[in-house]
Structure 1
Amino acid sequence: MKKFALIGAAGYIAPRHLKAIKETGNDLVVAMDINDSVGIMDSHFPDAEFFTEFEQFSGFVEDLKQKGEKLDYVAICSPNYLHLPHMKFALQNGIDVICEKPLVLQTEDLDILKRYESQHGAKVNSILQLRLHPSIIALRDKVAAAPAGKVFDVDLTYLTSRGKWYLKSWKGFDEKSGGVATNIGVHFYDMLHFIFGKILHNEVHYRDEKTSCGFLRYERANVRWFLSIDANHLPDNAVQGEKLTYRSIDIEGEELEFSGGFTDLHTQSYQRILAGQGYGVEDNRAAIETVVEMRNAPIVNNPTNAHPLLAKVKGAQA
Structure 2
Amino acid sequence: MTSYALIGAAGYIAPRHMRAIAETGGKLVVAYDPNDSVGILDSHFPDAQFFVEFEQFDRYIDKLRRRGEKIDFAAICSPNYLHDAHCRFAMRAGAEAICEKPLVLNPQDIDELAEIERDTGRRISTILQLRLHPAIIALRDRFAKSNKRHKVELTYIASRGRWYHASWKGDDSKSGGVATNIGVHFFDMLGFVFGAVSRNEAHLREAERAAGSLECERADVSWFLSIDRNDLPESVRSKKTTFRSITVDGEEIEFSDGFTDLHSRSYEEIVAGRGFGLDEVRTSIDIVSTFRDLPINKTNGVHPFAIKANRA
Give the alignment's TM-score, normalised by structure 2: 0.98
CA distance in 1, matches of 2:70, 2:229: 46
Counterpart in the other structure of 1:292: 289
Deviations 1:150-189 (A, max 9, x none): 1110000111111111011000011100000000000000
Which residue, out of 183, 186, 194, partners 2:184? Answer: 186
Deviation at 1:234, TM superposition (A): 1.3
Which residue, out of 296, 300, 305, partners 2:301? Answer: 305
CA distance in 1, matches of 2:249, 2:115: 42
What is the one-letter code of the residue matched to 2:186?
F
Provide the aligned C-alpha RMSD in A: 1.1
CA contact (8 A) 1:22 1:44 kept: yes
> For 1:34, what is the secondary structure of its paired residue?
coil
What is the one-letter code of the residue matched to 1:285?
R
CA distance in 2, matches of 1:264, 1:179: 25
Counterpart in the other structure of 1:249: 246
CA distance in 2, matches of 1:289, 1:59: 35
Counterpart in the other structure of 2:67: 67
Deviation at 1:145, TM superposition (A): 3.5
CA contact (8 A) 1:93 1:120 kept: no
**More off after superposition, 260-269 vs 195-204:** 260-269
> For 1:237, what is the secondary structure of its paired residue?
helix
CA distance in 2, matches of 1:309, 1:126: 30
Deviation at 1:230, TM superposition (A): 1.2
Counterpart in the other structure of 2:160: 162
Deviations 1:179-212 (A, max 9, x none): 0000000000000000000001000011111111
> For 1:296, what is the secondary structure of its paired residue?
coil
Deviation at 1:238, TM superposition (A): 2.5
Check 1:240–1:278 CA distance in 2 against 1; reply closer, same or farther (3 A cut).
Answer: farther
Query: Are 1:40 and 2:40 an aligned pair?
Result: yes
CA contact (8 A) 2:229 2:237 kept: no
Counterpart in the other structure of 2:102: 102
What is the one-letter code of the residue matched to 1:87?
C
> For 1:62, what is the secondary structure of its paired residue?
helix
CA distance in 1, matches of 2:222, 2:181: 18
CA contact (8 A) 1:110 1:285 kept: yes
Counterpart in the other structure of 1:51: 51
Counterpart in the other structure of 2:5: 5
Deviation at 1:296, TM superposition (A): 1.0
Deviations 1:226-263 (A, max 9, x none): 1111122111123667x611111011111010111124
Query: Are 1:207 and 2:195 an aligned pair?
Result: no
Query: Are 1:267 and 2:264 an aligned pair?
Result: yes
Which residues of structure 2 form unaligned runs of 5+?
Answer: none
CA distance in 2, matches of 1:37, 1:105: 27
What is the one-letter code of the residue matched to 1:274?
V
> For 2:144, what is the secondary structure of its paired residue?
helix
Deviation at 1:304, TM superposition (A): 2.0
CA distance in 2, matches of 1:25, 1:239: 39
> For 1:98, what is the secondary structure of its paired residue?
strand
What is the one-letter code of the residue matched to 1:47?
D
CA contact (8 A) 1:156 1:226 kept: yes
Counterpart in the other structure of 1:152: 150
Identity across aligned pairs (percent)?
57
Which residue, out of 169, 172, 190, partners 2:170? Answer: 172
What is the one-letter code of the residue matched to 1:94?
G
> For 2:40, what is the secondary structure of its paired residue?
helix
Which residues of structure 1 form unaligned runs of 5+?
Answer: none
CA distance in 2, matches of 1:311, 1:101: 28
CA contact (8 A) 2:91 2:97 kept: yes
Query: Are 1:232 and 2:230 an aligned pair?
Result: yes
> For 2:254, what is the secondary structure of its paired residue?
coil
CA contact (8 A) 1:102 1:182 kept: yes
CA contact (8 A) 1:151 1:220 kept: yes
Deviation at 1:30, TM superposition (A): 0.1
Counterpart in the other structure of 1:25: 25
CA distance in 1, matches of 2:212, 2:180: 14
Counterpart in the other structure of 1:220: 218
What is the one-letter code of the residue matched to 1:298?
P
Which residue, out of 188, 193, 196, partners 2:194? Answer: 196
Over 4 Å off, 4+ runs: none
Instruction: Tell me the matched-pair count.
Output: 312
CA distance in 1, matches of 2:230, 2:264: 34
Check 1:105–1:157 CA distance in 2 against 1; reply closer, same or farther (3 A cut).
Answer: same
